[in-house]
Structure 1
């Protein structure tokens, strides 16, 4: 893994030297724009419309458009000076329960390993979080951008989750057409709850795949081999015309197809196993 950041976690007077690594990777298949006429990849040019010429990187600064056509400019050094000073420190401010944070706040996950020194402090923080069931709420500056973060445990490894600031979360009240006094039919509700129960089971991430990515990879190989790309089969339309019929049809499909129902063995195992909040 490539080290993205080096610094230290601090809580109270304790400093924990750490190295940061990306915990996730983008599996999107990258494609380039191609000129159809000659099959040449297109390039992007940084061109100034006023000077009518290409601009080199050393001639570029950043600017904020405070009104149409008017900008205030900032050099790289100015923006760095405005950053949160101790940009090599993950400062834990509070400890909270993981369940206190709505998933809407989470952005990106990073793994943290012990630094070249301070493995004892790393183990101390990891074990303390495990036994208290808490996570740390911290601030961090990555690439001159300040962010809130949550420090938690993932499989015996400290992990950092960058999280949005509260004013970055849009109010639900801005969503149009939300029901104010929702009412549901009791029979439909009972059937919906039964369907949810039939489809419930332990979370098994390995069984979920990206059908578009798999189809695109297959199409790429077919084109490389000079074959005609096969279209995905169309989904069969059902004749369900109302909610009750849809619920009943869904229940019938689950009950007749054992592959869609959770395994009883795994259900019982889940009930008998208590997972740690921070793991």
Structure 2
């Protein structure tokens, strides 16, 4: 696993040297754009429309557009001056809070943290203390010249840093058009909807969720590589449900069937496991 950042956690007067790793990865299937005629990869050139000439990286500067068509140029020296105003190599813990107090809308990206050679003892101390108290830490960290708010927590016996949005980066819900102003609903419909939620409630098991589109696309790619014809499944006709109550009742029936099927599978699985154990014991 590639180390993407090195620094330390500032915990009161304690300094814990750590290494940071990306905890997640993008599994999207990526494509190159090709010329339809000859399948040559397309390259994109940077061109100045005013000078009508191609420009290189050395000819490009960064500008902030403070109003349409008007820019201020920001130099490398300006960026360095801004960097000196923040602690660029420290995860600076500000507060400890309860995880349930943070709405998931604030979470952005996850990173694993491990101790550097001399940080094992202090790392274990912070991990144990946070685990025992059930608290998470709110901290600030600078990654790639951007100061980020973060939540530090314990996950599967490792410290995880979650970058989180600042409050002014989360848009107001009042900006969303078409929201119903009241929660007035029919009592009978609410009862059935609640029952439907109960039928679909289970323990969270992340292994049961898969990206069906990515799997299907990967299969098509593999088939094309091996020279096979791609078989496309016929489109499933959509049921035209007119009444909300009808839709809820139909959903209840479907979920009850699924629950019975799931229970049968679990019972069969337990019987199979028990038989194996008996056979091994004998």
Give the alignment's TM-score, normalised by structure 2: 0.89
8 A Cα contact 1:136 1:152, kept in partner: yes
For 1:214 and 1:179, the matched residues in 2 are separated by 37
8 A Cα contact 1:201 1:262, kept in partner: no
For 1:239 and 1:13, the matched residues in 2 are separated by 64
> Runs of 4 or more off by more than 4 Å in structure 1?
259-265
How many angstroms does 1:261 deviate by? 5.3
SS class of match (1:196): helix
8 A Cα contact 1:254 1:260, kept in partner: no
8 A Cα contact 1:201 1:263, kept in partner: no
Give the 3 Å change call, closer, same or farther, for CA 48–201 of structure 1 in structure 2. same
Q: How does 1:1-279 map to 2 (within 5 A)?
A: 1-83=1-83, 84-258=85-259
Structure number with greater Rg is 2
8 A Cα contact 1:18 1:114, kept in partner: yes
Give the 3 Å change call, closer, same or farther, for CA 183–109 of structure 1 in structure 2. same
8 A Cα contact 2:196 2:248, kept in partner: yes
Of 68-77 and 8-17, deviating more is: 68-77
Of 165-174 and 56-65, deviating more is: 56-65
Give the 3 Å change call, closer, same or farther, for CA 101–12 of structure 1 in structure 2. same
For 1:261 and 1:243, the matched residues in 2 are separated by 27
Q: Deviations over 1:86-113 (max 9, x none)?
A: 2000100000000010000000000000
SS class of match (2:26): coil
For 2:136 and 2:153, the matched residues in 1 are separated by 5
Q: Deviations over 1:201-258 (max 9, x none)?
A: 0001101001110111011112222233222332232243211110111111122234
For 2:116 and 2:252, the matched residues in 1 are separated by 53
How many angstroms does 1:51 deviate by? 2.4
For 2:236 and 2:187, the matched residues in 1 are separated by 31
**Structure with greater contact order relative to length (CA < 8 Å, sep ≥ 6):** 1
SS class of match (1:183): coil
How many angstroms does 1:46 deviate by? 1.9
For 2:218 and 2:34, the matched residues in 1 are separated by 19
Higher helix share goes to which structure?
2
Give the 3 Å change call, closer, same or farther, for CA 161–32 of structure 1 in structure 2. same
8 A Cα contact 2:151 2:164, kept in partner: yes
Q: Deviations over 1:178-199 (max 9, x none)?
A: 1112211111111111111011
Q: Which runs of 5+ in 1 are unaligned?
A: 266-279
Of 250-259 and 237-246, deviating more is: 250-259
Q: How many residue pairs get matched? A: 266
Give the 3 Å change call, closer, same or farther, for CA 174–221 of structure 1 in structure 2. same
Of 108-117 and 174-183, deviating more is: 174-183
Q: Which runs of 5+ in 2 are unaligned?
A: 267-282
